[in-house]
Each structure stands twice: as structure tokens, then as C-alpha cells.
Structure 1
Amino acid sequence: MTDPLHHDIIGRGPVLLLMPGGAGHPMGLGPLTERLARRFTVVTYDPLGLAHGRLGLPVAEQRVAHWSEGAHRVLEQVLPPGERAYAFGSSSGGIAVLDLLARHPGRLAHVVAHEPPCVTLLPDGARRRQELIDGLDGPGRPPAEGPTATPMGVFLAHVLRPFTAWTPRFTTDRLTVAAGSASRGQLLHDTARRVADHLRSPFVEYPGGHLGVLDHPDAYATLLSDTFLPGTA
């Protein structure tokens, strides 16, 4: 028996898959999806169903492959035969779309991964990963009560550690890696550059920082549209 595929669809046009960050809850993405829906069929995947009635229910330790294979099953449902989708993911969602591209390249036309926290690629990756984990969830921080009661609780308890241990191992000409301009000098900006170099992919800057997708929906919609459908404005 397979898990239910929680997702929302808005708009018309080529299929664009959105993979939210954190625990995959799409909160705050409404302004972006509304703008993208003018040019795309926007499919927002909620891998844990947190926005579809499952917030507060037990959550298992997450795996990148679980998210990417779920996204692939969604695409198999919504993609017309013979067509490819575009995909955008930020943070943990950025890792998921990278894995999706590695596993199912034939279903994707182009992917933008924004600040995927693949910190193990850095020369001192093990130490930097632990610093990231400690900064978000550790040491001395009291354990969260009811870790599935909030999206952040789910992220800290079940997503952060397995996802930051994931390392991409492929090359492609259908990937763009992005980082926020306000993230310059920070760990995840350095990591994004490293991912781009490692995968021999273009590196671009988007407005804002790690949560720029929430703070600058107009700019993100324009940049994504220009990347996926250049010259069609």
C-alpha cells in the first residue's frame, strides 16, 4: 500500500512542481503559486500531508528518497504523456528536487534548487553540518514537546538530520542552483556554490535570504519563469 499523495494544483500551462522547505508544509507559498499560475500548472507537493490534516499525527524519520519518489508519483498523475515538468525546491525541498532529478531525469525539463543544505560537500562538511544542527536544534536547547505539533517541530525531529547528510552524485545540464543575495557569507550560500560546482551547474542569486521565496514572491515568480520559459514573456 502506498502513501496518499498530498498536493494542490492551480493554474494552466506547463507543469511546475514546487517542493517546500522545512517539513514540506507549503505555508506562505500562496503569493508565489498565484503568480506562477499565470503561466504554469503549479503542483505544490506536501510530502507529509501537514497541510492536509496530518499535522500533529505521528511522523517517522524521513528520507530524501521518500520525498522524491512521492513527487515522482505525483508527476506521473498530472503530467501529460511524453511531457516533462519543471521543478523548484528550496532548502530541504531543494534536496528533494535534486534527488528527483537524479532518479527520474526523463520526467524533468529543468530544476532550480535554492540553498539545498548539502553541507557534507564542503571541505569541512562534517563539522559544518554539526554546527548547523546545533544552531537549529542543539545543544542545551530543551527538547520540544509534541515534536509533531508544528511544522518546525517535525523538521527538527525528523527531517534536519537525514536530509543534511544527503550528498548529490550526478551531473546534468538541466539544473540551476540558487542562493539568496542576503545569504552571502553564510553557510548555505557557500553550500549552494559548492553544489553548483560539484554538479557543474549554473549558480545564480535570488533576492533575500534563505526564506526569500516567502519574502519576494514577485521576484521569484519572474526569475523562475525566465529560467524555465525564457523569451516567452
Structure 2
Amino acid sequence: MTHTDTLRVPDALLHYEVRGEGPLVVLVAAPMDARAFEPLADLLAVDHTVLTTDPRGINRSRVDDPDRDATPELRADDVARLITHLDAGPATVLGSSGGAVTALALAQARPDLVSTVIPHEPPLDRLVEDADDLLRRTDEMIATYRSGDPLGAWRQFMAIADIDLPDEVVAHMFGGERSPQDLADERYQYEHMLRPTVRWMPDFDVLRSTSTRIVVGIGEDSGGELCERTSEALAERLGVEPTRFPGGHIGFVDDPTRFAARLREVL
């Protein structure tokens, strides 16, 4: 059974879902919303309380000021308020992509709420040697989107991320008819979420000294992609060995059964 509700936080009304009973596991992404985690959440809810949420400004989580950036610090504060609201922590927090950056920001700000954080492929561009070039290309990509060429922006996104998808697949995913909500989420991602996420820099002194266990996750099939490089750089700076998970950047979507089994091993 899934309990669905909303929580009013500063400047936003957060949509969240709770499944199961047991130790709390929080699954967060950005810009993906709670729907992406449904199969994994159902598998974990057999013996865990599982919290999923739409990040602020995406799908069912509405913001009061649509022109305000959704920074990792703001998103981390949202998750902290959800954990506190449930009164079920400390939690294990698995963050994917931009949500992995959220999870790291949460571990920095509220280690009392997080026993283990698993940042899975965080796009921390400033940690790699070609950071200046990546950030320049990201600004160009956002400018392409704002010029009215979203498909061109997605092509640039895939090139920056070193994700090799046939152009017809990219065109099918991001071209043609799409729902008004998908278009609104895409706009919010490009204009208010992407830049502050990839430019975020962890406080390594804080993270290395925290009591929170940090497990840096990388997809087994992510070889050569940007998020493999940023994750390896993060693990090196933290002084930990990265942990491989099944699949690629969104392995929890492509094969939730194997991903859940690996996650249980890690926990």
C-alpha cells in the first residue's frame, strides 16, 4: 500500500509517497520524479519504509516562485523536512544523478538525519580536469534551449554526458508531441535546476569527517560516460572505493530487481 500526501515547506508544496514498514530508505532524483522509483520502491518496501518525492518544481511538487533556482541546498532542505515530518530517521538516502548531489548536500547539512548516503552518479562537473570546458558547454546548451530548440539542447546534453544514443532515439524521446507537464518539467530543469547542480562543489572536509557513511555508486554499464568520471573523482576525494551497481545511469529503472538486490548487499 502506498500513502500519498503533500508537505508544505518554504516556497514549495512537496508531493511525497511512503511505502512499507521498517528502516527508512529515501530515494531521490533530479529532475526525475517519484514515478521513476516505483518498481524499486515496491521491492524495498517488503522490509523498509520507503520515501519517494517529486523534487521541487517538477511534476506534482509545486513552487511558489517558478523563477527561483532549485539549488542542491534547497532540495536537501526539502528532503530533511520530509524525513523530520515522517519522524522515521535516521535514513538511508539513495540519490540518482542530480538527486545524488541533493543527497550529498543533505549529508553535509544534516548528518543527524542520514546514516548512509549513496550518491549514484552525481554530475559534479567541477571535480574533473575539463571542468571549465564542460561548464562552458553547459551554458551553451542552456542557451540553445532558451532559443527555442529543445531537441538541439538534448543533443548537446547527450554529447556533454558522453551518452551514446542514436539520434533517432533522442528525437523520439524529446521531439514530437509531449504533454504540457513534461514540457514544464523540462523547462524548469534547463532554466532552474541543471546549472546549480553541475556547478555544486562538495565540502570535502565536512564529508570526510561526518559520521554518515558515504557509498559512491557507479553503474556497471556507465564506462566512458561523464558521470563515471565525476563519481570516480568524488570517491577519490573522499578516500573511498566506488561501488558498482547493475545497469547504467538509471539502472534502477532498467532493472530494478537486480538493482534492489545490489542495494541490499550494500546496506
- Same topology, TM > 0.5: yes
The total of aligned residue pairs comes to: 223
Which amino acid in the other structure matches residue 196 of structure 1? A
Distance 2:145 2:78 in 1: 35
**Which structure has the larger Rg?**
2
C-alpha distance after superposition, 1:148-194 (max 9, x if no partner): 83433321221111110001113146000111121111211011000
Partner of 2:247: 208
SS, match of residue 30 in structure 2: coil
Unpaired runs of 5+ residues, structure 2, are 1-8, 151-179
Higher helix proportion: 2
Tell me how far 1:206 sits from its aligned partner.
1.3
**Contact 2:57 / 2:66 at 8 angstroms: preserved in 1?**
no
Partner of 2:148: 143
2:20 corresponding residue in structure 1: 11
Q: What residue in structure 2 maps to residue 21 of structure 1?
A: 30
CA pair 40-185 structure 1, distance change in 2 beyond 3 A: same
1:156-167 alignment, distance < 5 Å:
156-167=190-201
Counterpart CA distance in 1 for 2:135 and 2:66 is: 26
Tell me whether 1:35 sits opposite 2:74 in the alignment: no
Change (3 A) 1:58 1:215: same
Deviations 1:56-76 (A, max 9, x none): x94532211110011101111
In structure 1, distance between residues paired with 2:226 and 2:147: 24
Q: Which amino acid in 1 is paired with 2:148?
A: P
Equivalents in 1 of 2:81, 2:145: separation in Å? 40
Q: Summarize deviations over 1:75-107 as a string: whole Å, max 9, x none.
A: 111134xx4111000000000000000111111
Shifted more, 214-223 versus 201-210: the winner is 201-210
Candidates 230, 237, 244, aligned match of 1:191: 230
Aligned in 2, Cα 1:154/1:193: closer, same or farther, shift over 3 Å?
same
In structure 2, the residue matched to 1:70 is 78
1-structure distance, mates of 2:252, 2:68? 27
Identity of aligned residues (%): 27
Q: What amino acid is aligned across from residue 143 of structure 1 in structure 2?
A: G
